[in-house]
């Protein structure tokens, strides 16, 4: 008997290894929708941990528009901070 697609709670429980049901495995193998849903939840969980492991990149901070605007604003306030050659 085919089971219906897994809901979010079931997918979470499955990802955490709380469910050991061969019928779930069988459904996941045959259902692209549940496979992609499972992949997305897996990636979301692992992605959060990867962001925690990776220190913020200095390059990214420098390239952020908000930061560049602050730098430009600071230069307007203090002309001495302008680079020479203007």
Of 59, 31, 80, residue with least CA distance to 7: 31
31 binds Zn ion (CB under 5 A): yes
CB-nearer residue toward Zn ion: 33 or 43: 33
Q: Which stretch binds Zn ion (CB under 5 A): 7-15, 33-41, 47-55, 65-73?
A: 33-41
Minimum distance between the CB of residue 16 and Zn ion, rounded to whole angstroms? 18
**Any alpha helices (H) in 1-86, and if so which ranges?**
8-15, 22-30, 32-53, 58-63, 65-77
Q: Which residues bind Zn ion (CB under 5 A)?
A: 5, 31, 33-34
């Amino acid at each position: 008997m085919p089971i219906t697609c897994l809901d979010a709670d079931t997918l979470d429980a499955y990802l955490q290894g709380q469910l050991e049901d061969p019928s779930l495995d069988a459904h996941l193998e045959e259902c692209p929708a549940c496979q992609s849903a499972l992949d997305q939840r897996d990636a979301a969980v692992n992605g959060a941990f990867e962001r925690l492991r990776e220190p913020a990149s200095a390059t990214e901070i420098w390239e952020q528009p908000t930061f560049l605007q602050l730098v430009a604003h600071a230069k307007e306030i203090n002309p001495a901070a302008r680079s020479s050659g203007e």
